[in-house]
Amino acid sequence: MDMALVGLVALLGAAIVLAARASGVLRPPASRTWRVAARRLGLTFEEGKGTYQMRMSGVQDGMTIKVDYQRPLHRAGALYDATPTDHNLYSVWSEEIPQDLRVMPETTAERSGLRRPDLEVADPAFDQSVFLRGVESRTLAVLDAETRRLLMEFVRRWGGQVRLGALAIDDRELFPRPEEIEERVRTMCRLAARLRLRGRSVPALLSRNGFEDGVREVRYRNLEVLFERYPQSAEAPEACARVLAAPPDAEFRLLAARAAGAAGHPHLEALFADPTAGAEVRAGALAAIVERFPPARAIELADAAFSGDDLVLRRAAIRAYGSLRHRPAFAAVVACARPERNADAATQEAIAEALGDFGEAAAEPVLAGLLADGQAPVRAAAARALGRVGTLAAIEPLTARTRTGVFGETDEVRKAAREAITALRKRFGVERAQAGRLTVFAGGEEGGDAGALSVAHDPTGALSPAPERSEPDGAGEREPIAEGGRGSAPKEVARPREPPDRGSPQVGDAGR
């Protein structure tokens, strides 16, 4: 009976062990599974110093890599206990992964306190789920459609990150099988191979993305960076010619025409004259024309835009007049700011920018009105313009916009007002003014306004001149020595009164 009981217990125990192994509760030691995974991957296995540390190294996808595995121990304050956490940290290191590239889930970035803006690729699905930082041109070049797909899977499935030349995942699978380890390592190695730049041309990659990517905005973004950062590359002029010869896409044509130099001038005029191109594209073409064409031709096209009914083109014409400093249009621009014209906020902002470009002091009253009544972007633009063309009289309304107690004021407006005040004081030779004091202008670089007063912000709400510096009685004078020595009282010395200056009226002369 006893032997039968022992046999039954042994059978039950064996059945439990087999079931546990089959279900994954009991697994072989981690080092054994890693040895098997390393053999499958063709990598060399190295036992780590700690109980839960392993390493593989070798070549994958043409790259020399190191794969580290660590299972951190529980920590209480500065001490660790002997029990491992439920995290398996995998890291794949390679010198070919850009050291400045940083990738993580957006949620992780928010928890870590990393502030936007991060680098955006112009792919909405990718930009919403992946936090990205790095050198813009190199990062965009490697992020083609397949790489973006792998990165999204990497961050969504495993919370993966890329940092300092390494890819890392935090896996909650306590006892991974060799095939599971192999899957994770192969995924990271495949992604690392797509992120490397060695032996690859950044302009060539940008050009490829600019024509082959499936997302239109991504194509535009890559071409934009190619034209801006690598205009001297062989790929830039080829891409310009290819875009301008392609079926019409107005935004892409404008982008290429800007980058094509003199060869793009006919395309700019054609885009400006094309009503099907859209108002924003036509306005962009006019802005490029102002920069590149002779002033007479640019003014002719600006006049056509200003006299039309499209508000977007009219705003572009107003900015063009300011950029060209076309004096005959000054009165027309000022007239657009009159209350009866009921200009919208975007037009008022364009007016403020143009008046700053004109450099006319006569624009100060108009700018002061926009500073007082406009929306926040308009007030900021008016403040910047006053810093360029205003007089010392503009310091007082600008100072009012720097106060933190102003209801509804924005940081942008406060910053613009402070910078404008600094510019005015520097331009007129008034380097500093203290709260509650009047600064008298004695004449600066631009002459004029000598004797004008600059008002500094007084937190009390009243303008109080600084009190004269008082000195103790006798300060700065030698104490007279009495005849009887220092202990005796000094003799009074009668000081003669100075006669009044008859050349100027005295207080008692009033009414004589």
SS3 string, 133-149, reads ECCHHHHHHHCCHHHHH
Number of H helices, E strands in the chain: 21, 12
The span from the CA of 195 to the CA of 162, in Å, is: 10
Q: What is the pLDDT of residue 281?
A: 96
> Structure tokens of 461?
């709400």
- As given in the structure block, the two tokens for residue 56 are 């593989």
User: What six digits make up the tokens of 188?
Assistant: 């990271």
Cα-based angle 78, 84, 90 (whole degrees, multiple of 5): 100
Closest CA to 172 of 87, 108, 85: 87
Prediction pTM value: 0.72
pLDDT the model gives residue 491: 43
Question: What is the residue type of 152?
Answer: M
Burial class (CB in 10 A: 0-12, 13-18, 19+), 302: buried
Residues of the chain with pLDDT under 50: 20-28, 51, 73-85, 433-451, 455-512
Q: What is the pLDDT of residue 34?
A: 82
The pLDDT, as a whole number, for residue 348 is 94
Q: What is the pLDDT of residue 263?
A: 92
Q: What does residue 71 show for φ and ψ, rounded to 5 degrees?
A: -115, 100
What pLDDT score does 430 carry?
A: 66
Specify the pLDDT at position 486.
40
Burial status of residue 267 (CB atoms within 10 A of its CB: 0-12, 13-18, 19 or more): buried
Q: What's the pLDDT at 141?
A: 96
pLDDT computed for residue 429 by the predictor: 77
Where in 88-225 does DSSP place strands (E)? Answer: 88-93, 102-105, 130-133, 161-163, 166-171
pLDDT tens readout for residues 126-140: 999 999 999 999 999
| Structural domains of the chain in order of their starting residue, each with its CATH number | 40-195 (no CATH), 247-307 (no CATH), 325-433 (1.25.10.10)
